[in-house]
Structure 1
Amino acid sequence: MEKNEPDDEPVGRKDAKAGKPKKKQRSFWRELPILIVVAMVLSFLLQTFIARVYLIPSESMEPTLHGCAGCTNDRILVEKLSYDFGDPQPGDVVVFLGPPSWDSDYHSIRSDNAIVRGLQNIGSVFGLVPPDENDLVKRVIAVGGQTVQCRKADGGVTVNGKLLNEPYLNNPMMTAAKQANPCLGPEFGPITVPKGNVWVMGDNRINSADSRYHMGDSLQGTVPIDNIRGKAKFIVLPPGRWGVISSPNPQAS
């Protein structure tokens, strides 16, 4: 008698497998536009609500932040969440939109060509191109309700009559200049900062067009908190400059 070999698979299963259509793989090139749109939406959300990278255009914050003509300027990460839950504090390094009276030296970075300008504006929405606005970076010295001034006889900047402790000025460039002029610029004040505003100054006091030089405007040189884009947290480029941006409170003992 011939021995039947066991069939390892039920009748019809092989035929069913053979007849089942293969799942069609979606082409990478068909998926690419979807991936690009998703990436652009995520970039928009990130830049709008969480953080954005800014380029330091000048030397007004030297040596804390590096910027000069013809060199590799720092790029800083500015986070936006801190001021959704609280106000700027003395010592914070902030990026802000300059009030109208601060725009005299600002020149548009957009092309004169209408098509290129339109593309630049679209790129700005997604963080691919810098915004066309007078964004500046300075350090908060005094906040709403405080009175700030500088008199050579006082030895430097005071807030509510107390001389500030400013470790970010402890560098050879500032130390030598302070011996000749403790204000590192013109004497000013007293100015009482309005509620909802801040008084800002650059770390490079001898070369910073900050609040001191706009006291004749309607805000007496102060900056509305609503104009502040965020707090500068990190230097992200160039690699040799990576690091946290220090924000010690100059009003602390």
Structure 2
Amino acid sequence: MKKAKRQRGFWQELPILIGVALLLALLIKTFLVQAFLIPSDSMQDTLQRGDRVLVDKLTPWFGSEPQRGEVVVFHDPGGWLRETPPEPNAVQQFLSFIGLMPSAEEKDLIKRVIAVGGDTVECHGTGPVKVNGKALKEDAYLFPGNTPCKDKAFGPVRIPKGSIWVMGDHRQKSEDSRYHMNLKGNGTVETKQVVGRAFTVAWPVNRWSWLPVPDTFDQPALNKAAAATPAALGLAGAVPLTLWRRRRRAARAAKPTTRTGGGSA
């Protein structure tokens, strides 16, 4: 008669449990959600220095593009961050590995998407910011006392397909798209550089909140203006063609008809 297998003790199972937990954490960080630390004041009051936000990394895998009004984390497109990050210690490296802290080797930024591919964005004087000619009401998220762009006016800028225009909520402390128009992309960020959308403040507990898209970005006119551009171009091309065809028909009608046949000698 076979003896029943002896069950493993807790301490024997513990390394396996830890290994499985680390594997799951790594998979979650890679494909689902990752935590990021807010290192500056550029997104006040929406985000405070020291906040930890959770970033959705799943939807970009299915082809989802950043939308106007979303707060997104993205890799430095090149030349945006000048400072060299400090060398991380062993604990920071471990927390980064499992997704509880951002990687020290990666230069990441967090801003709000103001315009997407195909949009035209601009801001002059004390504002407002205009997208496709429509003014944004930014009181809901703009830092108190800030103007939309008085410190750095810009535009109009046409956003290339597959790119976004980003700005910080604390405009006077945010070196965003406006300040990098001399670089490749004219201040825009390619969507392939976007890590994902920050959807909630997870830490500290008393700061917990969702990060919704402000109502001003729900204006139907923003999309109508963008959609009207191809139609307008089509109309502009159709008018000369129609006129040319009319002139051609009129010329044919005015041309005398020549008949052929036998005549008398």
Q: Which runs of 5+ in 1 are unaligned?
A: 1-18, 68-72
1:185 CA drift (Å): 1.9
Is 1:144 equivalent to 2:144 in the alignment? Answer: no
Range with greater deviation from structure 2 (216-225 or 26-35): 26-35
Once the two structures are superposed, residues 45-99 of structure 1 have per-residue CA deviations (whole angstroms, 9 ceiling, x without a partner) of 10000001111111111001111xxxxx211111112323321110000011111
1:20 CA drift (Å): 6.6
TM-score (structure 1 length as normaliser):
0.78
TM-score (structure 2 length as normaliser):
0.75
RMSD of aligned residue pairs (Cα, Å): 2.2
Q: Which amino acid aligns with 1:64?
A: T
Q: Which amino acid aligns with 1:185?
A: D
Pick closer, same or farther for the CA change 1:156–1:60 going to 2, 3 Å: same
Residue from 132, 144, 167 that aligns with 1:160:
132
Secondary structure at the residue paired with 1:156?
coil
Q: Are the aligned partners of 2:46 and 2:141 in contact in 1 as well (CA < 8 Å)?
A: no
Q: Which runs of 5+ in 2 are unaligned?
A: 220-265
Once the two structures are superposed, residues 78-121 of structure 1 have per-residue CA deviations (whole angstroms, 9 ceiling, x without a partner) of 1112323321110000011111111213x22324xxxx67x865
Range with greater deviation from structure 2 (124-133 or 188-197): 124-133
Secondary structure at the residue paired with 1:57?
coil
Q: Which amino acid aligns with 1:32?
A: L
Pick closer, same or farther for the CA change 1:239–1:134 going to 2, 3 Å: same
1:152 CA drift (Å): 1.8
Once the two structures are superposed, residues 232-251 of structure 1 have per-residue CA deviations (whole angstroms, 9 ceiling, x without a partner) of 11111111111111222534
Is 1:134 equivalent to 2:107 in the alignment? Answer: yes
C-alpha separation in 2, matches of 1:65 and 1:122: 25
C-alpha separation in 2, matches of 1:127 and 1:32: 21
Alignment of 1:112-123 (within 5 A): none
Secondary structure at the residue paired with 2:40?
coil
- How many residues of Structure 1 are paired with residues of Structure 2 in the alignment? 217
C-alpha separation in 1, matches of 2:17 and 2:24: 11
Alignment of 1:41-52 (within 5 A): 41-52=23-34
> In the alignment, what sits opposite 2:169?
203
C-alpha separation in 2, matches of 1:128 and 1:238: 13
Greater length-normalized contact order (CA 8 Å, ≥ 6 residues apart):
1
C-alpha separation in 2, matches of 1:55 and 1:134: 12
Secondary structure at the residue paired with 2:122?
strand
C-alpha separation in 2, matches of 1:227 and 1:44: 21
C-alpha separation in 2, matches of 1:27 and 1:207: 56
Once the two structures are superposed, residues 175-227 of structure 1 have per-residue CA deviations (whole angstroms, 9 ceiling, x without a partner) of xx43xxx5242111111111101000001111101001000001111111011
Pick closer, same or farther for the CA change 1:251–1:235 going to 2, 3 Å: closer
> In the alignment, what sits opposite 1:76?
53
Q: Are the aligned partners of 1:94 and 1:230 in contact in 2 as well (CA < 8 Å)?
A: yes
Q: Which amino acid aligns with 1:36?
A: I
Is 1:54 equivalent to 2:36 in the alignment? Answer: yes
Q: Are the aligned partners of 1:64 and 1:168 in contact in 2 as well (CA < 8 Å)?
A: no
Q: Which amino acid aligns with 1:87?
A: E
> In the alignment, what sits opposite 2:47?
65
Q: Are the aligned partners of 2:37 and 2:101 in contact in 1 as well (CA < 8 Å)?
A: no
* Identical-pair percentage: 46
Q: Which amino acid aligns with 1:162?
A: K
> In the alignment, what sits opposite 2:240?
none
Secondary structure at the residue paired with 1:101?
coil
1:34 CA drift (Å): 1.1
Alignment of 1:86-235 (within 5 A): 86-105=64-83, 107-111=84-88, 124-131=96-103, 132-152=105-125, 155-169=127-141, 173-174=144-145, 177-178=146-147, 182-235=148-201
Pick closer, same or farther for the CA change 1:128–1:54 going to 2, 3 Å: closer
